Each structure stands twice: as structure tokens, then as C-alpha cells.
Amino acid sequence: MSEQFGRNEERIHRFRIECDADAIREWLLAEAFEAGAGGAEEKEVDGRFHADIYATPDRIEAVRAVLEGAGASNALVGPVEILPPVNWSEAWKEGLTALVISERLVVRPPFIEYELAEGQREIVIDPGQAFGTGNHASTRLCLEWIDELLIAKDGREHFDRVLDVGTGSGVLCLAAVALGAKTALGFDLDPVATHAAEQAAKDNELVPVVRFFTGPIEAVSSTEPPYPLVVANLLKREMLPIASEIASRVADRGRLVLAGLLEEDLKEALERFAKEGLHELGRKQSVDGIGVWMSPCLVRD
């Protein structure tokens, strides 16, 4: 669910929209939230995008009317359904589990118990408004790359400094330090995200080796040496406009892990970073209801 409702228990209504274009889906969802929708649950079925739109009884008809009047010719807007009362303060936790990345790393929410194996580290992330609890496919792929790179021979020495572009909850920085990096720096344009990340660093007792700030990539000081490991978990439309800035932060022989890319985005992203002197070393992928998520690891020769 993309948003959370504010009251602990209330009756919620919903309706479904369907369309066959990703751009239209994003536009319709933006219109829905602007009109007062309280949440959206997305999936892909037979090549079409489906989204259940949730709103309170006083807003549902207005939200539906906005989408019906949006004029997207290939979009279908379904009827309103009345759902039974739900305790949203508890319901949003359903389906969240401890995420076992490897025998070295576990990521879990604070309300889920997990017995660690000997030598295994954990990062505790309180799911909230910031993206990046580890449960999304793209975040998990990044965590797998961080684990693999740092456990490799001389990995902790070589990848001792990490930069996280668009840090969200800060989980990637926290994981990198937990696995042996000396320092990690994350930043995000959203102050809600960086506040959540700073709190997570305190909760996991990783201050001051993990730092966060709110701002664009240009605010990463040019006087600092490039980073041996840079991670960018961003959608293509967010990533490519700052590709040169991202690439300039990668050290010689450094690695750049990309995520947030669907399979159809990969070719364009790889071609763009190849122009910056970064070439694919390997890739990971994961499939969910949206599609095939790709995460290549690039190297600066």
C-alpha cells in the first residue's frame, strides 16, 4: 500500500483502475492522491496495470470522478466497493517479515523477532514514510550486492567508503557499515527520508560512521575523494538526468550498483553510464507483480 491512513480504525472504500501504459498509470495515481486518495495497491496482470484506490467515504466519489474525467482512453475505472472497518495501525504490518539477505545480514522491522545465527548482523528498520525497508525487490538486490562485494577478498578494505544516492530509509548505508565498511554517506531530496535514516542510524547505534543529509547530489562535496562503492536505487527517470554526477563520484576501480530499473530500462541505463566510463561487471534480478527488476554492478576501469 502506497500510503497509510491516519486513524486507527475506520471504514474504507475502494475502486480499481486498469490501463496498459506505465506513464498513464503513474499519472492516474498522482491524480488520485491529489484528489484525496488515502492509498493505492498496485500489480500487473496479463500486461495491464491494476491499482486498487482506497479512500474514506467522504472522498471516494470525488477521487473516482477525477479519474473518470481524466480522459485516458485506455483506462478503465471500476465501481466503488465498501470494505469492512480495518485497524490500519496493525493491518499495514501484515506481510512484513525479517529479510534474510545472507548468513551475514538480516533486515527486520522492530515488531518482528528473529534469532540471529552466530556472526550474523541485523539492521532494524521501522517501516514508515521513507522508502527502503528491504522488502522491495530493488532494495533487496542492492543489499545482496553490498553483501557480496564486502565479503569478497579484500572487500572491506577496498569498499571502505560508501555513497548512497537517494537513501530513503538509509538501510543500504547501515547495511554497508554493519558488513564492514568504515563509513557511509547517504542523501535524499526528501527531508522525511533523511530524518527517518538519521533515526535508524541512532537506533542501530551506527552514528557517527553513517551520515545523512537532505539535498541534491551536487551537494556531495567535490573536495572529497571519489567513493569506491556508490549505490543508486532510483527509477530510470530519476537516475538518468544525474548520471554524470553519479558517475563522477565513483573512484577508479570502484563499483556502481544500480537498482530501481525494470528490464526494459536496462539497455538505456547501461548505454548512458558507458559514456561515463562505467561498464557492466555483473547483474542480479528479481521478479514481482510489477515486472522484472534489474540491478547491474558497473566498474570504472
Domain-embedded: residue 242 = yes
| 8 Å CB contact between 52 and 76 | no
pLDDT band at 230 (very low <50, low <70, confident <90, very high): very high
Neighbours of 94 (CB within 10 A): 7
Number of domains into which the chain is organized: 2
Neighbours of 30 (CB within 10 A): 11
Domain-embedded: residue 227 = yes
Q: What is the percent of the chain where pLDDT is above 70?
A: 88
Domain-embedded: residue 1 = no
Alpha-carbon Rg of the chain, whole angstroms?
Answer: 20
> Are residues 276 and 236 located together in one domain of the fold?
yes
Q: Which of 31, 38, 102, 39 is nearest to 68 (CA)?
A: 31
| pLDDT score recorded for residue 291 | 81
Domain-embedded: residue 78 = yes
Domain-embedded: residue 4 = no
Domain-embedded: residue 205 = yes
We report the CATH number of the domain holding residue 141 as 3.40.50.150
**What are the tens digits of pLDDT across the range 94-107?**
667 899 999 999 99
**What are the tens digits of pLDDT across the range 28-65?**
888 888 888 888 888 877 778 888 998 888 889 999 99
> Are residues 23 and 121 located together in one domain of the fold?
no
> Are residues 146 and 75 located together in one domain of the fold?
no
Collapsing DSSP to helix, strand or coil, 47 comes out as coil
| pLDDT score recorded for residue 5 | 42
Domain enclosing residue 26, as ranges: 9-91
| 8 Å CB contact between 32 and 66 | yes
> Are residues 104 and 211 located together in one domain of the fold?
yes
Residue whose C-alpha cell reads 569506491 in the numeric block: 228
> Are residues 67 and 191 located together in one domain of the fold?
no
Residue 157 in this model has a pLDDT that exceeds 90: yes
Domain-embedded: residue 3 = no
- Please provide the average confidence, as pLDDT, over all residues in the chain: 87
| pLDDT score recorded for residue 100 | 94
Domain-embedded: residue 263 = yes
We report the CATH number of the domain holding residue 44 as 3.30.70.260
| pLDDT score recorded for residue 222 | 75
Q: What CA–CA distance (Å, rounded) separates 258 from 139?
A: 10
| pLDDT score recorded for residue 2 | 40
> Are residues 127 and 266 located together in one domain of the fold?
yes
Q: Which of 139, 140, 177 is nearest to 161 (CA)?
A: 177
